[in-house]
Structure 1
Amino acid sequence: MAKLSTRAADLSERLAQNVQAVCRHYLPSGRREGRYWMVGDVAGTPGRSLYVRLFETERGAIGNWVDAATGEHGDLVDLIRLNQRHGRLSETIEEAELFLSLPPSASDDQRGAASFAKPTRAGSTTAAIRLFAASKPLTGSIASTYLRSRGITRVSDLPALRFHPRCYYRPNEDDDPATAGAFPALIAAVSDNDGVETGAHRTWLDPSGSAKAKVASPRRAMGNILGNAVRFGSADDIMIAGEGIETMLSLREILPTMPMVAATSSAHLAAILFPPTLRRLYVARDRDAAGDAAFGVLTERTQAGGIELVSLMPDLADFNDDLRQHGVAALAERVRHHLRQQDQTRFSLDIG
């Protein structure tokens, strides 16, 4: 057994050197998003709950993966074992050795882990920081117009948000062949609990500012997103966390002084790192299966950390839909019923 474990550890390192090829082979329905390969589950179902790390950082090794919906995690040997439904480790070792013996395709050879895991490569933390620094202030921009079209009026004093007039967009296989290579974009800084910038989130926009750009994936993240978030205010003991930027800004319309974070996706919401002083976490949920799964993971994590968890559930799909369809007063009334009395006093609801 010890010999098998040693072989598995060696294979794990070799597979990690070819992590993107492993993902394309065993999880072909997934796709690369920033520093991760995103897919629905270990079986390769389309979705975004499972993420495989494509870059090694201080937060984790290349090839490590987590399924935010189930809590499962492991290395690439574990991924192959579950994907192929092996009952014995020896079967997985044989499968992994067979995969590694296959001649790499031209795509694998050109795009394997060694070729793109460079600090200044597009999609890296360095590139994300440079993009945010090159962007312009939000006030008076197309991005500001876009937020107002979503019912969001508090667009000042948002240092985590900026605007880029011509942000590069890499079309994928779902885009029209004539898709442009750049669009105006809302650029959000992603940072850790200490405020250190670790990544960026891009929302490509229609030039009119009335909607998102008509592309297959108008939202993409870059840099080190796992555990981090787009932050509105500095959190101490109380915080609201949710998925989308527009969702959190909708709640900021009625709670402008309460610290909030946007994790950018359900998978990343499940994995946010809590401030060490956090005592109560409100979760602004999306009304869907992915949102339910993220809340389930957070329930376990907050219980283990001694943090009170409070659910904020929208009437419609998310709180931005609530804001646009029902108005700010109705949104304030709905949220008020879920806030603890002391938080209602400390963070007064504001309905304009």
Structure 2
Amino acid sequence: MDSISDIVRRLAENAEAVCRRYLSNGRREGRYWLVGDIRNAPGRSLYVLLSAAGDSRAQVGKWTDAASGEHGDLLDIIAASCGHGAMRETLAEARRFLSLPLPTSFGSRVPRARKTPAGTPVAARRLWAAAKPVGDTLVAAYLGARGIGVAGSGGSLRYHPRCYYRASRDDAPGVRSAWQAMIAAVTDDQDNIVGVHRTWLDPAGGKAPVACPRRAMGHLLGHGVRFGRSDAVMAAGEGIETMLSLREALPSLPMIAGLSAAHLAAIRFPQPLRRLYVACDKDPAGAGALKTLVERGVHAGIEIVPLVPERGDFNDDLCALGRARFADRLGCLLRGEDTARFLVR
């Protein structure tokens, strides 16, 4: 326990416990802990990897802030949380933390290993396989109420009639443990399913009345929900509904939904990509993701073109303007050759 590398390794072995202690305003989503920043502000800009799940390239305990571009390890998080001015203070605090038992929420006994650990790509693929085509289901009704047809999803969405929901500390007592859900496939550049995104739905309309109606699982970093095959010109944005709204007017333009501002900023650029339209939400997190992508695009030789909605996001614009006026506005934002090639009024 004397060397810094030993301490870093031990902290990584208890990454979720570290985050619960020092980034208490965040929450776990899939393999990541999401919070506003390294100083524990509420939000979703900073993400900490909690489990590698067989990915040899992933480093548990590493974090990135999509808004600022900062990154580091769990020692940095402890130092910022405690306001340390010297490394010896941080190492002393880390040693004190590692000498404590795990939080009581983890239980006193070691859980039995499951055949398929929760949150892994294998578990995600099993959930995808258990889901059904969208067809005439609650998913189609949910999207239709937002002005979106299912044709634009290109098979990336499915319906689950009874998807398990794990209640969080913010849920009301007795919240239901299963709801109908929209399941979206998270894929890599080779179209392999590496995760899924779940949106729990209320039969009465809209999302289910739970604290966290959206959650993702699997390998998310760098990947997303894809609509169409990768090409030289593409679009990327945060939400599934945002990108499907754009597909209403740009049905042949390949798109990726990154699922959050942090993950949008970290998407891997497909090999043929030369121009990327970024549909960023109209908030600080969206602006931060756009800034990061512009910087990455400069180094990769990729033109980044912002698409900024008039309202909060492009689904808000679609619902307010209607499809024809929505398409007209998009035509003013695209490069001329892309307007002629992709826009359908």
> What TM-score results when the alignment is normalised by the length of structure 1?
0.93
Shift of 1:89: 1.9
Q: Deviations over 1:116-137 (max 9, x none)?
A: 9977122221111100111000
What's 2:288 paired with? 293
Contact 2:245 2:318 in 1 (8 A): yes
SS in 2 for 1:291: helix
What's 1:58 paired with? 56
The separation in 2 between residues aligned to 1:81 and 1:219, in whole angstroms, is 31
Letter in 2 for 1:192: D
Contact 1:11 1:96 in 2 (8 A): yes
User: Do residues 75 (structure 1) and 56 (structure 2) align?
Assistant: no
What's 1:148 paired with? 144
Q: Deviations over 1:208-259 (max 9, x none)?
A: 4x31111111100011111100000011211100011000000000000000
- Quick one: which of 299, 305, 317 aligns to 1:304? 299
What's 2:247 paired with? 252
Shift of 1:335: 1.0
Instruction: State how many pairs are aligned.
Output: 343
Letter in 1 for 2:19: C
Q: Deviations over 1:239-287 (max 9, x none)?
A: 1000110000000000000000101111111111110221101001111
SS in 2 for 1:155: helix
> What TM-score results when the alignment is normalised by the length of structure 2?
0.95
Contact 1:252 1:258 in 2 (8 A): yes
Instruction: List aligned pairs for 1:278-289, cutoff 5 A.
Output: 278-289=273-284
The separation in 2 between residues aligned to 1:105 and 1:264, in whole angstroms, is 30
The separation in 1 between residues aligned to 2:113 and 2:307, in whole angstroms, is 39
Shift of 1:88: 2.2
The separation in 2 between residues aligned to 1:151 and 1:206, in whole angstroms, is 18
User: Do residues 91 (structure 1) and 89 (structure 2) align?
Assistant: yes
**Unaligned regions of 5+ residues in structure 1, if any?**
none
Deviates more, 1:276-285 or 1:74-83: 74-83
The separation in 2 between residues aligned to 1:302 and 1:115, in whole angstroms, is 45
What's 1:237 paired with? 232
Contact 2:117 2:123 in 1 (8 A): yes
Classify 1:12/1:116 alpha carbon distance in 2 versus 1 (closer, same or farther; 3 Å).
Answer: farther
The separation in 2 between residues aligned to 1:325 and 1:127, in whole angstroms, is 38
What's 2:259 paired with? 264
Classify 1:276/1:253 alpha carbon distance in 2 versus 1 (closer, same or farther; 3 Å).
Answer: same
User: Do residues 215 (structure 1) and 213 (structure 2) align?
Assistant: no
SS in 2 for 1:330: helix
The separation in 2 between residues aligned to 1:234 and 1:49, in whole angstroms, is 28
The separation in 2 between residues aligned to 1:155 and 1:146, in whole angstroms, is 14
The separation in 1 between residues aligned to 2:113 and 2:76, in whole angstroms, is 22
The separation in 1 between residues aligned to 2:92 and 2:113, in whole angstroms, is 28
RMSD across aligned C-alpha pairs, in angstroms?
A: 1.9
Contact 1:201 1:221 in 2 (8 A): yes
